[in-house]
Chains A and B, each alone.
Chain A
Amino acid sequence: MQIESAIAMRAEMRSQGVIMAYNGEISDELMITLAEILKRRVGSEVDPKRSRSVFAVFMEGVQNLIWHSVAPERAAGMVIISELEAELTVMCANRIKKADSVQLRETLVQLAGADKDRIRQLYREGMSKSIDHEGPGAGLGLLEIARRSPYPINYAFVDVNDDEVDYFIAARI
């Protein structure tokens, strides 16, 4: 990469209000380190409620990224936190199997059209189903994000090849 490109990249990040950006392999340990930095940056003294929401959304987003990567033993992805006009956006992206994207898309469509009461109802139903949920999670991560964010979750799927897609979600707080 040329320095000129880095300069342009940095200018773009500044104009977008990026306060943290990471792309690459990501571990549980790194997730915690970034979460702690973010917690301090958001200012838990000024607005503890918002700080807790940002922390929770970040943790759920990155946890999802780690668990649902194409190669979970070497999970990789992109995490970008930006803040413009006091609105903070947590963005996570990772590569997933195309087969897994179908269910995910259905869930995201459902959440996008749901009001807060409906999200809460879905969460309650998800709690009951969590016991039977396979894998390390509870199947509640997206619901937790939807619950903590006052706005609908934005998302995108970008085809990579026949078997894989890049998956992006962004939650605003």
Chain B
Amino acid sequence: MKDLFIDATERTPAVRFRAESCELSLEGESYPEDVAAFYGDVIPVLESWSESDAVRIHVLVRLIYINSSSMKALYRIFDILDNGRELGKTVSIRWCYLVDDDVMQELGEDFKDRFPDLDLFLEVVE
């Protein structure tokens, strides 16, 4: 497993993965011109986590706007996390959304509905 640090841009989130502590965070906007290229750097890191002997992961998602094509990548990320859970790993996810952002709140609920066995905690932030 390797660390991954990608700085945020106007169109892409900051992505941080610390291999030692198994912490992943996605924060910011997500509407890259090439979704496959952007998340193509993120997904292999999670796959290597899933295949490693790591026993847990803490995930923080704090997105402002995510376009529908980024949803495919985010769904893939959740799918890998859920596979990790099935392998016996402990997965905890904090899904943060702005206080008046019911779209991101609902999206968090939608992920909860799709992945009912994942420990997904919705949190309002100011």
A123's contact among B33, B34, B101, B110, by CB below 8 Å, is which? B110
A55's contact among B11, B65, B110, B114, by CB below 8 Å, is which? B65
Q: List chain B residues, Cβ under 8 A from A130.
A: 71-72, 75
A-B pair count, CB < 8 Å, reads 65
Q: A48-B100, A128-B114 are in contact. Are A136 and B65 (CB under 8 A)?
A: no
Interface flag for A49 (CB, 8 Å): yes
Interface flag for A104 (CB, 8 Å): no
Interface flag for B119 (CB, 8 Å): no
> B100 and A120: CB pair below 8 A?
no
Q: A52-B103, A131-B75 are in contact. Are A60 and B114 (CB under 8 A)?
A: no
> B68 and A124: CB pair below 8 A?
no
Instruction: Identify which of A93-101, A138-146, A155-163 touches chain B.
Output: A138-146
> A137 and B69: CB pair below 8 A?
yes
Q: How distant is A72 from chain B, measured CB to nearest CB, in Å? A: 14
Interface flag for A59 (CB, 8 Å): yes
> A60 and B68: CB pair below 8 A?
yes
Q: List chain B residues, Cβ under 8 A from A127.
A: 71, 75, 110-111, 114
User: A147's closest neighbor in chain B, by CB?
Assistant: B103
In the bound assembly, the distance between CA atoms of A67 and B34 in angstroms comes to 12
> A63 and B67: CB pair below 8 A?
yes
> B68 and A137: CB pair below 8 A?
yes
Q: List chain B residues, Cβ under 8 A from A148.
A: 103
Interface flag for B86 (CB, 8 Å): no
Interface flag for A133 (CB, 8 Å): yes
> B68 and A144: CB pair below 8 A?
yes
Interface flag for A56 (CB, 8 Å): yes
Q: A52-B103, A124-B113, A148-B103 are in contact. Are A133 and B65 (CB under 8 A)?
A: no
Count B interface residues, CB 8 Å: 24
Q: How distant is A101 from chain B, measured CB to nearest CB, in Å? A: 20
User: B32's closest neighbor in chain A, by CB?
Assistant: A28
Q: A120-B110, A127-B114, A131-B76 are in contact. Are A140 and B71 (CB under 8 A)?
A: yes
> A138 and B101: CB pair below 8 A?
no
In the bound assembly, the distance between CA atoms of A17 and B113 in angstroms comes to 41
Q: List chain B residues, Cβ under 8 A from A55.
A: 65
> A136 and B36: CB pair below 8 A?
yes
Interface flag for A32 (CB, 8 Å): yes
What is the 8 Å Cβ interface bit string for chain A, positions 10-38, against chain B (1 contact, 0 not)? Answer: 00000000000000000010001000000
User: A133's closest neighbor in chain B, by CB?
Assistant: B72
Q: List 6 A-B contacts (CB under 8 A).
A: A49-B102, A52-B101, A59-B67, A63-B69, A137-B69, A141-B69
- Name A's B-contacting residues (CB within 8 A): 28, 32, 48-49, 52-53, 55-56, 59-60, 63, 120, 123-124, 127-128, 130-131, 133, 136-138, 140-141, 143-144, 147-148
